[in-house]
Structure formats: C-alpha cells, structure tokens
Chain A
C-alpha cells in the first residue's frame, strides 16, 4: 500500500450524483419525455421457429391515433450484431424465437399502440426448432440460421452451423497428465438463464431535428457503441446520430446492446414525431440480454495430496437465437474455469450454440458464475473424496506471484492466498458444521479488468470549480465519483468542486463504456493524464507571470504556490481565460495488452487478462430439513481491489453483486418450455428480497496493480461470480446434498434429502 497520504482518494465521500437520486429529482431515461411524443409498441412472435406466411397491418394503420406501422418491408434489410451480424430489426420472413420483433407501431397513446399491435394479422408455418444446446450440436439438428455461412462476423471466431463460436485454451498433454494421476474425476454442471434485474426498464426517446440528425435519449451503458449501431441500422453516417444518456437505473451488462433505441429512431423517422419505447416486464423476460445457460463438463486428474495435474473441460453456452456476446462469453468462461489454480496440463474448449430461444448477453461477469460454479464445486468434491480440507486443497493449488496463467502470461500482483485465508478466518472455518442442518462453504476466483480506451476533457473554471467531461456513463456503481475523486486528488481540489456533465456523443470525448469493471479504472487513469497536463499548463502560465521556473511551482490548497507567492486556481483560470482561452485538457488512457503465448489459445478475443483481481467468498447457512429452504446466516467477501478509491461504494458493489449471486444460486430462473417462457413476470421470476439477504461482510484487500490509478483493480463484476459455488458447497455440508444444477431450489434439496433425484 502506498504510504502517500491522500486527501480525497481512498475516502468514504458522498457520491456526486447521490442527492439528486435519493431526492427523486434525478432524470432517468425512462422519465424523459418530449412535447408531442408518440408511444411505440412492438408485435412479437408467438412461434419459436416458423416462416411468416402472411402479415397484414392494415387494421393497425386504420386505427385512429396510430401514426406509423413498421415491418421488415418498410426498412432496409440490414443485419447487425456484436460478434456476428445475424440479427435484423424485424424478423424477415422467418422468426427464430418466441418474442422476436415482427412489427412496430407508433401511436398517440400507449393504449392505442397496444391495441393496434393486437389487430395485426399474422399466419405462421412452423419450422423444426431446437431448444437444447446439446441437441443443437447433433448432426441433423435443425439449423437456427440456415444462412449462417453468409453472415459477416469478427474474424477471430470459429463458426459452423449452430456453433456461433468455438474457442480453446490450454497446453501440455492432458492424456499424459490423467495417466499419471492418482485419481481422475468427471462432473457435469448446468446453469440457467438469469435476467440482469435492473430496476429501470430499457427506454429510449428518439427525435429527428431539422438537419436530418437523430437524437436518441437512452439508458445505454455504451453510448458510442450505440451511436455506431444506430448508424448501421438507420443507414446513416455516424455523425448524424447523437446519443444522450440522461441517467441509468441499473444495467449490469443488460443495457450494452441495442434494445429499444432502433425502434424509437425508426418509428420517429417514419412518424415525423418524437417516439418513446419502453420495455415491459414481460418483454424484459422474453427479449432482453439475460445470462446464458451453460452445460459445463470438467475432468480433473489429481495427485494423492490433491495437486491438480491435468484438467479437461468443455463449456457449452446457449446463446439463444442470436449470438450477441455469446462467442466471447464462451471464451472467457475458459479462464474462469481454469480458476486461480496452477495446472500443468490443461485443455479447455468453449462453444457458443444457437437455439430457438431469446437472445442473451453480457450480464455482470459474463461466464463468471457458471464456470466458477463448476470448478469450485468440483474442488470441494475432490477435497471430500481425498479427505483434504477444502481450504487446504485450494491453498496447495493457487497461483503464486510470477506464475504463468492459462495463456502463458506472467501473473503479477497475485493475492489469492490472502483472500482465501482472510475469508475463511472471518467465517470461522475451523468449525465447518456448527450444528445439524448448518454448514459453511468457500469459493474463490479471479477476474479481469477490461481495457478499452477512455478520453476526458477537464476544465478549470474561473470560479475555481472543475468540470469533468467524459463519455463514460454512471451506471449506478459510483464509478464516476471514483474517477472524480482521483481528479480532485490530482488537482488539489475537493470532490465537491468537481462537476460532471451528462454524456452526449456529439460533444463528449470517446469512452469504451460502462462494461468490464473498467469505468473508475480507465476514466481514473484518463483523469490523471488530464490533471498532469493541466498542472503543466498552470505552472507554465504562472511561471511566466511571476518570472520563475515552472519547476519551482506546486499545487497546494487550491492554489499555485512558489516561494512566498500564492495564486488561487480560480485566479489562474481567470488569467488563462483572459490570456489563452482557458484551462482545459484532454486526458486519455488505454491499458496495454500483456504478452502471452499464442500457441496456448485458439479463437479467443481476450486471450490474456489484465490487472486481474482475486477474491474469495465464505458463507454460513442453514438448510431446513423438511422444506429444503436455505437461510444464509453470514456471508463474507474478501476481495482484492488493488486500491480502494472509495471503500463505501466498493462495499456497495460487493453487497449488490452478492445479492445477484444469491438470486442466481437459489431462486432466479427464466423457465423455458418448448421455447415459451413460463414465468415472464416478476411474480414468478424471483429475485431475492431484502428478507432473503444476509448482511454482507466485506474485507477489502489492497495489492496494487501496475496499470490502475493508484494501483486500483476492477471491482464491479467479481462479487457475483462466487456465490453459486460458495453456497452449493455450504449446502453440501449442511444437508449432505450436492446439487450440480442452478438454481439450487429448496425443491431440489428437499427431494434429494427425501430419497429422490
């Protein structure tokens, strides 16, 4: 840890967007409205895979109050997508999942729009469908995209038929490793669809101005990506698209990609009026970007004393009808499956597979909870079989400083031992089964801090305040407050002196977006760069005035100080405004890619992780012997954050991530039956309530990264990775029942305790 005493960074300061949010004055995208605005509504497919035989919108067009109706006929045939351009705005002749958009209506009220959608006549001719990703891999399985080979795709991905992406990582000789092993274990784990659960639905208002530019107010996490996506779908130069983000009521990776924005923009274009589109709960649970279900098989050979010798694994990831981030997620799963463990012989393969279900996406720590559930459940199974304590077997296998990672990269700032021992100590690991029906479990993992560039403009105003203009959005995590704390620290001002502007792609500098645990990290670094340049500008200006060397000046107490002279920052800014156009700088950051061994990875978009974090979770829970109901007594997280820029908001991230993890573990699942979602409402899609949540005890470990601001590492995603495995391991101790499929419902536990399967 740095011995440097900091005034602003590292402090538990109130977030800059806090007052507006707790007083209800903050404007979120779903609050945004314009005069004369119309309301858009989407007609969705009632079939999972079918040819559209007839589509007639005449009655909808004739309904009073309806201003426009759009189908695939009315717009250019443009395919878009993150990894593969496999999706269209409306189904073109063929629907590929139940819930796919077929038409859209804009009307003077939402009720009229809904009524109009119900009048649209449609006839289908059903086609063979496939719902199970393993069946989709079989020879002769129906193809979700018969024309897959003609789609444009990022060259890194290896595709074939229903496989939208295949990747691999590993080295050594697993067969030789298994042959040398004392025992070899094979297990299979399955995980489910879960929704990101943001409070605010996806919302967009679009309006076209006199120049033929379209302005879209939306709660997207990636405004610049959205701008480019809309340019594609609207068939316009990107400079004609202006994306503004008023406020976001949570995203968790579910608001990365286009959802309602293109419908709002096209309907507004056709209607010549502003149009708003907001999703309903039913739409969220049938056509959003939930976490992909997976089937993970893992074969592990160990020595007599529990050292991992060889591991072979396969992750089958069900990406639904469109690939979106599936191929990348199946690839990232492989590093999670490796875990923070040394393994001489490793062969992992990831497959993203199309099925006739809704698309999926990059929910917080994509692939993290699924792959971690497999590896960390299996480590406990192996420990039990060998008679080794689960903490001990982990400590024997974890990465150490300078070890080689799965892609052959050299690992630095490795803190997994400290995470494990502190979490175990806090939960009282020496007493793993404190009583009948009660047990404790552990799980650990590692995760990356995503790169991507950030730019900021920073201006010092003549009143001494500082304006931070960034293209990064505040998702609700407090990340922008964290970046502002770094900026205040660097400029010698208070956090309350910093103002942050809303994101507007016409004027904000580029940012890679609120994804991958990177906002505070990357924007913080850009702020350091901007502040460095501002200090140079300030010192050069004042040096000229005072006729002293710039190097003799320093910032202190919101003033420039040199010898016995002092000038306030406000006066320097005024001076600069009079003499040189003001104090403004452009700071940028990009995280360098680490060196890795290309022979160890195939078709992998993120072959080696950067500024990785380590973490361990420990839980103490009780299982009801009759109902199987799980009650969590205590929950501990020890997470290496590199440097805690604002401990309060880091703890908030950990608490929220654990809540989402508990939901995925115990109660949440989008249930499909033959392509139909059975629980497309918030009565039966069960996110945990306050009554289900324990207090989460956070232990922040600060082992600095090389690249992060003041050594910080990415914080936001990791907390939802370990809960499934930690809780599964504790349930096994408490009840004697080992459940290898998520969610671990009370029903699964109770039926197994009572002799069923």
Chain B
C-alpha cells in the first residue's frame, strides 16, 4: 500500500498548499464589513477545476489498482506475461492522439478553426484505433494461450487494460460531442475550453497508460527496487 500512501501524500501536499493561501489563520469575527475576498474577478472556469478533481479521483482509482498489483506481485507464484509487440504500436497511436489533440487546442486558440477541426478528427480516429489495437492485443494474447484466469499477471493485465479502455471510451464520447458541436459553428470561448479539457484528459490517460505499460513490461519493478534500495 506504499504506492497509495505516496499518492495520498501528493494530494495532501496540493490541498495543504492551496489551504495555505486561504488565510486559515485569520480571525473572521474581527473582520466585519470588509470583503477580504482575494479571489480575482476572472475566476478559473468551474469546468477546469471539476476536471482536475475528477482526474484526482481517476488517479486514486488507478493508484489503488496498481498497489493491488504490487501486493499480488510480491507472491512467489508470480510469472509475468510476454507483451505482444502490438502494444508498442498502440502506445504510439495513443501518443499521436494526445499530440494531435494538443495541436487542436493550440489551433483553436489561434482561431484557425479549420485546422482545429481536422486535428480533432485525427485525434478521435487515433483514439478509436488505439481501442481496436488493444482488442487485437487481447486476441493475440488469448490465442497464444494467455487467458484471463491462467495466471495472476494475466488477470491483472486484462482487468487494467479493460479499465483504461473504458476510460478511453468515456473520453471518446466527450471528444465526439465536442467535435460535433464545433463542426459547423465558429469555435467560441466555450468550444476552446472544451477542446482544452479534452486535451488535458487525454494527456492524463496517456500518462496512465505509460505507467501501466511500464508496469506490465517489468521496468516499473526496477524503479521500485531502486527506490527500495535508496530507502533502506
């Protein structure tokens, strides 16, 4: 559960940092009449904060899955499964999707609506391709005899990729909605915000995938071992 504690510590630091700016040591009973409200007149859009909080929840979810993975991995009967080459291509596709979405965001901010729309479409297609690629990876593994129940590493692999895939499906739904909305009208402030939020979510899911990929391929173990040696 060390992974979870590290994650909690990060969240705690963020909350503490934010609380430290909120004048928690002030004496509100002495401050009658004065507004003392240090919020600016241009608040951060609520949707941005909402996405940040949501990503913290998703982060907690995957951190818990990963710490379960580490706890299970410590047992003696653990045997990692060989990763299909396919996953490298999938990783590339997801990265491409993330990059084009970022591109879309930049183009929308520069008011190049046409370019933004094209890159949105490319990002959507790449996201879809990633999902299809994951299905192919599943098929390659299961036809090679690595079934869901045949070893704990397999179970974790299928479950975690399924979880990640479901989050990508949700992201694609949101992305599709944004793409349709911005299709025939000029991209306004709301549209730019939505595209930016999609990009943030996509980068986050890419990061989660990279962590999972590192976990499955065994590099994460080396990092963890290194940390352990540094600590002891």
A and B interact physically? no
Seen from chain B, the residues whose Cβ lies within 8 Å of a Cβ on chain A are none
Residue numbers of A with Cβ under 8 A of B are none
